[in-house]
């Protein structure tokens, strides 16, 4: 009985299937135990995901840069986090001008944290004027962090 496909097509499909099996055995494919691949920590410093989840391994550095304007009196402040999951790094709340030779121009407030141990924490930042105690911040930023 003749084959429905040329032998070269069947041979290519068999080789491709073996390659996928080999990759899966090496752990190079995402774990598809559920419907979506699992999030895996990236190597090296990781930029935080605003209003999303950031996944780290113990010892990794999380970096966050929040935009602002140096001339308005507003400043970013950290409302709190679980210091057993993340520890303070450097820079921690440093304001850096993003436009050269523009006093009062755009700036970033930069934060760094080190993943200390497995767990979950949420970083909440508020953009407000320090002398306006009790007033609502002009803006907030949330970062959910999971250390695996």
Contact yes or no for 30/38 (Cβ under 8 A): yes
Mean pLDDT of 127-134: 92
When pLDDT is averaged across residues 68-83 and rounded to a whole number, the result is 92
- Span 108-123, average pLDDT: 97
Cβ neighbours, 10 Å, residue 97: 14
Considering the domain architecture, whether residues 102 and 72 belong to the same structural domain is answered as: yes
In this predicted structure, the answer to whether residue 66 has a pLDDT above a threshold of 90 is yes
Q: Give the length of the chain.
A: 148
Question: Structural domain of residue 133, as residue ranges?
Answer: 46-147
Whether residues 101 and 64 fall in one domain: yes
> Does residue 122 lie in a domain region?
yes
On the question of a cis peptide bond just before residue 91, with omega within 30 degrees of 0, the verdict is yes
pLDDT at 122 over 50: yes
DSSP state at residue 126: E
Return the percentage of the chain with pLDDT > 90, whole number: 57
pLDDT at 103: 74
Give the model confidence (pLDDT) of 16-65 as tens digits.
443 333 333 444 434 444 444 445 555 678 999 999 999 999 999 999 99
Is 41 inside any structural domain?
Answer: no
User: What CATH number corresponds to the domain at position 72?
Assistant: 2.60.40.2020
pLDDT of residue 7: 53
> Is the pTM here over 0.75, yes or no?
no
């Amino acid at each position: 009985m003749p084959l429905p496909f040329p032998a070269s097509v069947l041979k290519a499909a068999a080789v491709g299937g073996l390659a996928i099996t080999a990759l899966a055995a090496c752990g190079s494919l995402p774990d598809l135990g559920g419907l979506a691949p699992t999030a895996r920590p990236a190597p090296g410093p990781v930029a935080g995901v605003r209003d999303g989840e950031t996944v780290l391994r113990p010892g990794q550095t999380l970096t966050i840069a929040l935009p602002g304007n140096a001339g308005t009196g507003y400043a970013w402040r950290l409302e709190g986090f679980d210091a057993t999951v993340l520890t303070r790094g450097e820079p921690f709340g440093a304001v850096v001008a993003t436009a050269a030779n523009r006093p009062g121009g755009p700036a970033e407030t930069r934060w760094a944290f080190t993943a200390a141990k497995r767990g979950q924490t949420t970083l909440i930042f508020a953009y407000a004027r320090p002398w306006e105690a009790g007033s609502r911040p002009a803006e907030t930023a949330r970062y959910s962090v999971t250390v695996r």
